[in-house]
A = this chain, B = another copy of it.
Amino acid sequence: MRVGVVAVGSELLAGIITNGNGAWLGRRFTEAGLEVSRSVAVGDDVGEIARTVGEELTRADAVVLTGGLGPTSDDRTREALAAVGGSPLRRDPGLEARLRQWYADRGRALPAQAAQQADVPEGAHVLDNPNGSAVGLRVEVAGGVVYALPGVPREMTAMVGASVLPDLLGRAGLAGASTPAWTLRTAVAGETEVSSLLAPLERELSGGGLVDVAYLASVGEVQVRLTARAGTEGTAVDAAADEARRLLGDLVYGEGQDSLDVAVHRLLAGRAATVAVAESLTGGLLGAALTDMPGSSGTFRGGVTAYATELKSALLGVDAGLLARHGPVHPEVAGQMALGARERLDATFGVATTGVAGPDTQGAPVGTVHVAVAGPDAPVVWTGRGTGGRDVVRRRCVVAALDLLRRVLSGRPPYGE
């Protein structure tokens, strides 16, 4: 089963927004075992939308459109669907009444132009949108089936899960089939290292070809995704995941949707511990990461960003002589910052970052970072050297700090030791 993805909107062509809907649909369909034939962005033009649907149907069994169903004059997807199906638009009185109610619930009268959201091509099936005023449409045409969904991500994604994907899987004969897949999440190690460690598994799998291995690298993290090919037993992917876990060892911090900060909060909560941070080059990003999760106030106390060097002494108690001798970018400075955060913010663990994000250096090469964790035992410091711009160095340093805390909390040595 092949699916073509079409995003409608002139703002996509002008690059005013990135085609996030296209990427989301690609991921969702691929995960569900469907193949995406192409992903196209097209402007708000009836003829061009209709022509695009026709072209994609020569490549795919189904086409999923997003965007162009709203209340304004540049929303033209309904007209294009009518053209594709060769059936006129009719105003649906039931939909119009609902629309009027939707606006009334928000204290407004239905604008004349917005009533177009009740126009449906003859014979089309209406897809419910619980989160917005624009309903979706499903049209059966000679070459296959076409779904049109609103472009608002929250509305679109809910409708894919509730109606489009079950319908597509039913047509593909995959209804009810789970797609066996595992995602293992690693931090600090690069993609080359992670894939080298998995080389024995990849060699083994290349024979049978039942499980696909994919790598998704982001700043400081690599996700390994193991997916069963269509028709493969779930046990094959389970076995491959076991082997991958064994080969990757303590590089794996979590699985599935777990992010590194969530893994850390869980470990902290498990031992009724709290954390405070002391930051330099990361400027607040580490604290921001630790407060990303709802409910993080249970384990996160707070932090001090001592950006100016003398504040490292004044606010965190770092030895002024040490700072004078070595400057602020030094492993011992990181250790004392972590201790200072732990003590002054009354937390079980203190975590610190110092380093050079560039472009100005502080006596060390750009990309040098020291991260430290101070807990009931002596502080642990880890030093990293990487490349990349200022933003990458800062974000990778946050990952290194969180991962060092994760390792200390779970009794593992620092990365590489």
Interface residues of A (CB under 8 A from B): 5, 11-20, 22-28, 30, 36-43, 48, 52, 55, 59, 214, 216, 277, 279, 281-292, 294-297, 300-308, 311, 315, 344-345, 358-360, 390-391, 394
Residues of B within 8 A of A288 (CB): 282-285, 288
Residues of B within 8 A of A279 (CB): 284, 287
The answer to whether B27 and A12 touch across the interface, beta carbons within 8 angstroms, is no
- With known contacts A18-B23, A302-B308, A283–B287 Cβ distance under 8 A: yes
Please measure, in the bound complex, the distance between the C-alpha atom of A308 and the C-alpha atom of B26, giving whole angstroms. 41
The answer to whether A18 and B16 touch across the interface, beta carbons within 8 angstroms, is no
- With known contacts A308-B302, A315-B345, A39–B36 Cβ distance under 8 A: no
Q: Which 7 A-B pairs have the closest CB atoms?
A: A284-B287, A283-B291, A15-B27, A284-B284, A15-B26, A284-B288, A39-B41
Q: Which of B5, B15, B43, B286 contacts A24 (CB 8 A)?
A: B15
Q: Which of B17, B24, B284 contacts A23 (CB 8 A)?
A: B17
The answer to whether B14 and A30 touch across the interface, beta carbons within 8 angstroms, is yes
Counting every copy of the chain, the complex holds: 2
Residues of B within 8 A of A28 (CB): 15
26 contacts between A and B (CB under 8 A): A13-B38, A14-B26, A15-B24, A15-B30, A15-B36, A22-B41, A38-B52, A279-B287, A283-B290, A283-B292, A283-B296, A284-B288, A284-B289, A284-B291, A284-B303, A285-B285, A287-B305, A291-B305, A295-B360, A300-B307, A302-B306, A302-B308, A302-B311, A304-B304, A304-B315, A308-B345
Say whether chain A's binding surface is mostly helix, strand, loop, or mixed.
mixed
- Which of A282, A283, A307 lies at the interface centre, i.e. has the most chain B CB atoms within 10 A of its CB? A283
Shortest A366–chain B CB gap in Å is: 11
- Which of A16, A25, A216, A290 lies at the interface centre, i.e. has the most chain B CB atoms within 10 A of its CB? A16
List 8 additional contacts besides A38-B40, A38-B43, A291-B305; criterion CB under 8 Å. A13-B39, A18-B19, A18-B23, A284-B284, A291-B307, A296-B307, A300-B307, A304-B315
Task: Closest B residue to A215 by CB, please name it.
Answer: B16
